[in-house]
Amino acid sequence: MRMIKWQNGTVLTPDQTKLPTEEVTLEIRTVAQMAEAIKNLRVRGAPLLGAAAAFGIAIAVYHSKATCNSELLAEMEDAAEIIKRTRPTAVNLFWAADRVLNKARGFNGTTEEMKAVVVEEAQKIADEDAEQNHRIGKNGASLIKDGDTILTHCNAGELATVEYGTALGVIRAAWEEGKKIKVIADETRPLLQGSRLTTYELKRDGIPVTLITDNMAAHIMSKGLVNLVVVGADRIVQDAVFNKIGTYGVAVLAKEHNIPFYVAAPKSTFDLSRKASDVIIEERNPDEVTHIGGKQIAPTGVNVFNPAFDATPLKYVSGIITEDGIYRKEDFAKFKPNFV
Ligand code: MRU
């Protein structure tokens, strides 16, 4: 199922803050609305953020009254600036925004034609993501055996992508191959993407899933109840994988218990010109930690630290599942001379 659709200048996508109790479709018609939706995680997950960024710029172009190409390009650059300021960590957002901008910069033709080319490029980004996720799923399913229990963190599912999911795409593909698997979903504090979204998707698809709180993973691994971990990624750099806060802890636990730890992500998530120390980790509102579901659970005014992502050093990663195949630990060095 498509998680983001373009309909004559309007972007349709589920409001993920309402799930799992309400299924509401957002109708986004302005760049400001797209920026708000991204900032507040109505639309979220690295690959979906890429498509959302591209469609956000397409909205500006579609509704533009610009009469020449340079004016249209300037409006696109303004839209891209607004969108790039929303969230700093997932590289797909920047990659997709730059891809549509570059398409327009290199364009020779009328302004009306340029508009069409930009919308087409945004749609292409979305279509490619959908297709790549199915390939990631197929590639990753080879790592999963009949009867395996797989632990995942956050939501790297259909909801986080244009279609099918990355980590959950791997799980879905194994299930579709007839493997009798089970999933353990970390709830993923503070914003509960695991309990709200991962369990929602898997339950809907009939894939057995058990929800745990984040602090239960060590115990469950120590009991031999997990065969494999698979998670998504927001940015893969030379020496680390950035993903939802808590991923690093899961990776360390997996290593301690000799459980393979895999990352599933499209190449649009790779940012191999950077190291972990170059990446900005988004810090979010303290309310997300002091409140759950609108209810205050900590004293008013308590000091809070709320980083949204962490960096898992590559030494904890058994392999990275991409649309082109699986890069195993021994392959990491090939990405760049100083990759590990
Ligand atoms: O803050 P979020 O919900 O956008 O964070 C999402 C994640 O960390 C996902 O694991 C990641 O984007 C991969 S999604 C295929």
The answer to whether the beta carbons of residues 28 and 5 sit under 8 Å apart is: no
- Residues 128 and 159 placed together within one structural domain of the fold: no
Verify that 196 and 314 share a domain, yes or no.
Answer: yes
Residue 197, pLDDT > 90, answer yes
Q: Is residue 340 part of a domain?
A: no
Indicate the number of domains in the chain.
2
Same domain for 192 and 96: no
Give me the residues paired with residue 261 across strands.
Answer: 229
pLDDT at 340: 40
Whether 57 is in a domain gets the answer yes
Q: Decide: 56 in ligand 1 pocket, CB within 6 A.
A: no
User: Could you give the C-alpha distances from 290 to 10, 21, 36, 55, 300, in angstroms and in order?
Assistant: 35, 22, 22, 34, 8
Would you call 164 exposed, middle or buried from its count of C-beta atoms within 10 A (0-12, 13-18, 19+)?
buried
Digit-coded pLDDT (tens) for 223-234: 999 999 999 999
Residues 147 and 129 in one domain: no
pLDDT at residue 71, rounded to an integer: 98
Pairing label, strands 228-231, 261-264: parallel
* Residue that finishes a domain, picked among 134, 168, 198: 134
The answer to whether residue 338 is domain-embedded is no
Beta-carbon contacts of 48 under 8 Å, excluding residues fewer than 6 positions away, are: 3, 4, 13, 129, 159, 160, 161, 162
**Cα 211 to Cα 161: distance, rounded to the nearest angstrom:** 22
Q: What is the pLDDT of residue 336?
A: 59
Q: Cis bond leading into 260, ω under 30°?
A: no
pLDDT of residue 54: 98
In this prediction, residue 331 has a pLDDT band, given cuts at 50, 70 and 90, of confident
Of the residues 94, 110, 134, the one at which a domain ends: 134
- Same domain? For 181 and 316 the reply is yes
Give the list of residues 6+ apart from residue 164 with CB closer than 8 angstroms, or none.
Answer: 130, 133, 134, 137, 158, 172
What whole-number percentage of the chain has pLDDT above 90? 96
Q: Tell me the two tokens of residue 22.
A: 């309400």
Other beta carbons within 10 Å of 106: 8
Whether 213 shows a pLDDT value over 60: the answer reads: yes
Q: Do 160 and 130 share a structural domain?
A: no
Domain boundary among 92, 117, 134: 134
232 CA: nearest ligand 1 atom: 13
* Boundaries of domain holding 45: 5-134
Q: What letter does residue 12 receive in the DSSP assignment?
A: E
Cis bond upstream, residue 266 (ω within 30): no
User: Which residue from 94, 132, 133, 155 has its CB within 8 A of the most atoms of ligand 1, so it is best to mutate?
Assistant: 155
Residue 42, ligand 1, Cβ within 6 A = no
Average pLDDT over residues 25-42: 98
Assigned domain for 219 exists: yes
Q: Does residue 93 carry a pLDDT above 90?
A: yes
- Is 232 in the same domain as 308? yes
Residue 198 Cβ inside 6 Å of ligand 1? The answer reads no
E strands, the chain, are 5-7, 10-14, 25-28, 149-152, 182-186, 209-212, 228-231, 235-236, 240-244, 261-264, 291-292, 295-296, 309-313, 319-322, 325-328
Q: How many residues does the chain have?
A: 340
Residue 330: pLDDT band with limits 50, 70, 90: confident
Ligand 1 pocket, residue 88 CB under 6 Å: no
Instruction: Based on the fold, state whether residues 119 and 152 are members of the same structural domain.
Output: no
- Confirm whether 182 is domain-assigned: yes
Do 194 and 282 belong together in one domain? yes
63-67 CB contacts, 8 Å cutoff, 24+ apart: 63/9, 63/29, 63/30, 64/115, 66/111, 67/111
**Is the pLDDT higher at 293 or at 4?**
4
Q: Is residue 87 part of a domain?
A: yes
The residue behind tokens 């170059």 is 278
Each residue's pLDDT tens digit, 281-324? 999 999 999 999 899 999 999 999 999 999 999 999 999 999 99
- Whether 4 is in the pocket of ligand 1, judged by its Cβ within 6 Å, is no
Calculate the average pLDDT of the chain: 97
Residues 208 and 177 in one domain: yes
pLDDT over threshold 60, residue 337: no
In the numeric block, the tokens 């369990």 are attached to 199
Residue 59 to residue 122: CA distance in whole angstroms: 10
Are 18 and 156 in the same domain?
no
Q: What is the pLDDT of residues 167-181, one digit of tens each?
A: 999 999 999 999 999
Task: Based on the fold, state whether residues 163 and 40 are members of the same structural domain.
Answer: no
Amino acid of residue 64:
S
Any idea what the CATH number is for the domain that residue 51 is in? 1.20.120.420
Q: Determine the residue of 19, 244, 261, 288 to mutate for testing ligand 1's pocket, defined as the one with the most ligand atoms within 8 A of the Cβ atom.
A: 244
Say yes or no to pLDDT of 28 above 50.
Answer: yes
Q: Which residues are tagged catalytic?
A: 234
pLDDT above 70 coverage of the chain, percent: 98
CATH (domain of 291): 3.40.50.10470
pTM for the model stands at 0.97
**Contact indicator for 53, 39 with CB cutoff of 8 Å:** no
Q: How sure is the predictor about 139, in pLDDT bands with cuts at 50, 70 and 90?
A: very high
